[in-house]
Structure 1
Amino acid sequence: MEEVDEVQEELMAVALKRNFLMPANEIYGHTAGFYDYGVVGAAMKRKLENAWRELFLWREGFYEIERASVLPAAVLKASGHVDNFGDMMARCAKCGWADTADAIVEDAEALEKPEQYEAAIKKLEFKCPKCGSKEFRVAWFKLMFETKVGAKGDETGYLRPETAQGIFVDFPRIFRALGSKLPLGVGQIGKSFRNEIAPRQALMRLREFTQMELEYFFDASEGRHPRFGEVEDRKVRVLTVEQQRKKQGRAKEISCMKMVEEKLVPNEAVAYFMYRTQQFHE
């Protein structure tokens, strides 16, 4: 882990020096979790976005939309985000330093309630890295940026935590406009926002970031993909459910056809896009 951290620090040093990235609002004091793309970084980002469009949209004959970034509370209530999109936050009772509770308590799978986390942190005798106190309060923290919409401020909205919801709520109009036929692919590239408790790992955990997302709508009773034949013999690196349960971290290379035949994935469509995703990263 230390070696990984050292590599990340070296990469960030180069990125800042060569103007790939800039700490946002740096002259007024940088706020963690926000970065600007510099002259070189912005050009590289556009190339990456167009490479994604080429593979996932243009070659497939899919479509792209651009959605508003503010969503009304009703949308995110229906999706479950209002009630469930958050983390347990551990805050130092003395100085206010905070982090996610599961970053302090590593084996936290069985913990659900704030008082359970507080007891676990106390048992660990964890000390606040800022002031040394061992007193912590744990509470549920919503990871969405909330805002009030309109002059009266009587309607609650949120900066979208991910781009998927916009595609789903627009689907009826898109579906009708394109002839009411399946399968149908709709993609979007845009900003998402998450009020992270403790942004870390440079660009890996930000409060504002760009997502490239594709939603593929098809008849689940069939599950076939018209271009599956192109990838059926291609191998994908996967961790099976059994491996994950046994906490075996070494990925296996399995062909798309074998994944479907052995029911490691629900259908051809899932296997097809797993391979395309791997292809994009390579």
Structure 2
Amino acid sequence: MLEILEKAAVEAGRVILGVYEAGIEVRQKADCSPVTDADEAAERIILRHLEEAFPQIPVVAEEAASAGQVPEIDGRAFFLVDPLDGTREFVGRHHDFTVNIALIEEGRPVAGVVYAPALGILYSGDGAAARKSVVSGGIEIGASMVIGCRMRGDRVTALASRSHNNAETVAYLSEHGITDYEAVGSSLKFCLLAEGLADLYPRFSRTMEWDTAAGDAILRAAGGETLTMDGTPLVYGKRNQPSDVDFANPSFVSRGRA
């Protein structure tokens, strides 16, 4: 399965880079978040790959969901797709935007691919986590390197969102005596934890499940975890929530090995 998810992500990444290089036209969705031609074109590519390879598995994709197109997923495995995570990074000409594809089973992200096309780096995980280079102009996937979370020492390094940092995050870091932190965009924060380059990622501003699922799958495969503020693992497929919209996440903290 991972090979197909990787192929879909890399093909979508080539289209995204084409828009990135040609010029970006930004529009506003109903929730006031930005969307571009790259988001929509990349989603079409990913959906085509998933429908051809796994016609029996429903797909919840960000842009389709925003248009009210959500399949029935109760009691079923399903895919979560964010065709362009970090649209603000993309529009701002940063390089840390990603393509995210994840498989969810019984509320858990069990397989995931995160591709950063501007960096030429592909992360994947489904029991073990790996990092790969994408070469030949974003066409060929290179050799794989197994990655894993590091053991947390006395000096903790945290990651925070570049575009969505807030006072709660700053307060959390201060309360836990964490002074070393770096602002990074998109789901790459999960991947940096999985690669052992940081220890902690607290998130108190809004995320949706398609923002986090693929990176979370890779982090868990690398030996890390994502916990809500009551200490339970973050779950996926959240519908009919009394205090929030479908597929919205609560606050959480992702971390490597304790």
Normalising to structure 1: TM-score of the pair? 0.28
More helix as a share of residues: 1
CA radius of gyration, larger in:
1
* TM-score (norm: length of structure 2): 0.30
Name the one with the larger strand percent.
2
